[in-house]
Chains A and B, each alone.
Chain A
């Protein structure tokens, strides 16, 4: 009797992934709150969810280090988007060239193979030496981080266009230019989108890393500064915001993909 009931509940939960997710998040919040309540007196570095919310409100209304919170967020977002957009444009261009021409692809292969395993944050000291600690050095860093993945994925997408598709288009009297923009480009688009998604996630991670080292604004600067001066709740809020904004960026791109590349994966 009870076993049957249990089976029913399991089946019902399997059909509701959103509900299960919400429940697990709620559970985590409860455990976190209880733990925070118990640990508050012993560890000043532990902050509970309620205090976190209060601090978020304080930061949003009063700013951090004399600068409004939205300026910090805006600084990080600006660096990310400038570097990411530049990297995406150049990456798509280079990727198309690599996909269309085996010679260009072979010529660039050694550089790409060498650069790929280097984490972009390894360039931070060099970029600072070359371009200083201003905005430009961060944009360059994000550009380097995003360019690679967009280029490699675009090239893979262009190479993966089925020969039959090109032959059908050719036999319908399609010329080179039209073949490129009306057949090859849309067929490669799902690959390009995948590259953009990876590149954006990486860009966001790298911008925070770059701001940790050399910046006077931005969310990376905020958490580094808060850590240095033992403003522990601010540190938590900074991490929370980085996570939330990263999530929103990813969701935004996914929404864009579902709208404009609706055939992807089907």
Chain B
């Protein structure tokens, strides 16, 4: 079983060697019928995510990106189109897809260690062995020393680290992350982004990440899907060719980073003010 410690070998660079499709969305649509008629939340979304990709969905609130994550997670059923995980149609949530929410969703009555151990309930492990495995994952996020703490004794950043360790402990093939760092302060957000990149490079999980922060999307992803709203649909699929490894603050100010940012900001600006003519800077 692949368990990685913080102090293990130097970071490896992931190149998507395997072309297996991890997530396949084919003509996915979703809507709900309210008193004032039908509201289309997603229309004709077509996305193929390869194994090992860090795929980010970027869009304004209300563009249906959380609905998309819920559909992939199997929490809600798409009303149109086909959703498949590694070739198999999604019929509900499962341990092959780990979820991490903005709200942390930790079990408040369990210690940090027990929270991570919860993810191991399906495996036939002796008690000591179970704690051992959970500890390795806690070590991965740097919280080994806090194993006996309870969630209410931790800061927001630490809580989200526990949630990440818990999700990883179930050894999912895909991580689904719904604006996981949106509730954190700016400094802690950047620290956790770097830690997440390190973890992704070590574990080679496929990541489906949702954010409304352009910087976050560029810093983390290998591919970015920019969405537009009403109804939610993919506006552009961009591959993010920033050099790896980039789990370093200096990656945030390189020319390539800023170039990508400009491109994406332009796409989003068109979305928000489609008719506004922009004058060239003097």
Please provide the chain B residues from 78 to 94 with a CB less than 8 Å away from any CB of chain A in the complex: 92-94
Contact between chains at A167 and B105 (CB < 8 Å): yes
Contact between chains at B101 and A172 (CB < 8 Å): no
When distances are taken between beta carbons in the complex, the residues of chain B under 8 Å from A89 are: none
Q: Does A130 contact B (CB under 8 A)?
A: no
Min distance, Cβ B66 to any Cβ of chain A, angstroms: 11
Min distance, Cβ B172 to any Cβ of chain A, angstroms: 8
Q: Does B121 contact A (CB under 8 A)?
A: yes
Q: Does A108 contact B (CB under 8 A)?
A: no
When distances are taken between beta carbons in the complex, the residues of chain B under 8 Å from A170 are: 75, 92-93
Contact between chains at B97 and A189 (CB < 8 Å): no
Contact between chains at B152 and A263 (CB < 8 Å): yes
- The contact of A167 among B73, B121, B151, by CB within 8 Å, is B73
Complex CA gap A146/B107 in Å reads 29
Contact between chains at A173 and B122 (CB < 8 Å): yes
Q: Does A234 contact B (CB under 8 A)?
A: no
Size class of the B contact interface (CB-based, 8 Å): 20 to 34
Contact between chains at B94 and A173 (CB < 8 Å): yes
Q: Write out, one digit per residue, whether chain B residues 102-140 have a CB within 8 A of any chain A CB (1) or not (0).
A: 010101110000000011011000000000000000000
Contact between chains at A168 and B101 (CB < 8 Å): yes
Complex CA gap A167/B102 in Å reads 13
Complex CA gap A178/B151 in Å reads 21
Complex CA gap A263/B98 in Å reads 25
Q: Does A23 contact B (CB under 8 A)?
A: no
Contact between chains at B150 and A172 (CB < 8 Å): no
Q: Does B177 contact A (CB under 8 A)?
A: no
Complex CA gap A173/B97 in Å reads 10
Min distance, Cβ A173 to any Cβ of chain B, angstroms: 4
Contact between chains at A172 and B107 (CB < 8 Å): no
Complex CA gap A169/B105 in Å reads 9
When distances are taken between beta carbons in the complex, the residues of chain A under 8 Å from B210 are: none
Interface centre among A162, A170, A178, A189 (most CB of B within 10 A): A170
Contact between chains at A171 and B94 (CB < 8 Å): yes
Interface centre among A171, A182, A186 (most CB of B within 10 A): A171
When distances are taken between beta carbons in the complex, the residues of chain B under 8 Å from A261 are: 109
Min distance, Cβ A90 to any Cβ of chain B, angstroms: 24
Q: Does B16 contact A (CB under 8 A)?
A: no
Q: Does B62 contact A (CB under 8 A)?
A: no
When distances are taken between beta carbons in the complex, the residues of chain A under 8 Å from B73 are: 167, 171
Contact between chains at A171 and B121 (CB < 8 Å): no
Contact between chains at B105 and A162 (CB < 8 Å): yes
Complex CA gap A187/B110 in Å reads 11
Min distance, Cβ A37 to any Cβ of chain B, angstroms: 52
Given contacts A171-B99, A266-B152, contact A165 B170 (CB under 8 A): no
Complex CA gap A263/B109 in Å reads 6
When distances are taken between beta carbons in the complex, the residues of chain A under 8 Å from B176 are: 171
Chain B residue, CB-CB nearest to A185: B109
When distances are taken between beta carbons in the complex, the residues of chain B under 8 Å from A183 are: 107
Complex CA gap A178/B99 in Å reads 19
Contact between chains at A164 and B105 (CB < 8 Å): yes
Q: Does B245 contact A (CB under 8 A)?
A: no
Chain A residue, CB-CB nearest to B118: A172
Contact between chains at A167 and B152 (CB < 8 Å): no
Shortest beta-carbon contacts, A-B, top 8: A266-B152, A173-B95, A164-B105, A170-B93, A263-B108, A171-B93, A164-B101, A186-B109
Selected A-B contacts with CB under 8 Å, 11 pairs: A165-B107, A168-B101, A170-B75, A170-B92, A171-B74, A173-B95, A173-B121, A189-B109, A262-B150, A263-B108, A266-B152
Q: A165-B105, A171-B94, A178-B121 are in contact. List 14 more A-B contacts (CB 8 A).
A: A167-B99, A171-B97, A171-B99, A171-B172, A172-B119, A172-B122, A173-B121, A186-B109, A187-B109, A189-B109, A263-B109, A263-B151, A263-B152, A266-B152
A-contacting residues of B (Cβ < 8 Å)?
A: 73-75, 92-95, 97-99, 101, 103, 105, 107-109, 118-119, 121-122, 150-152, 163, 166, 170, 172, 176
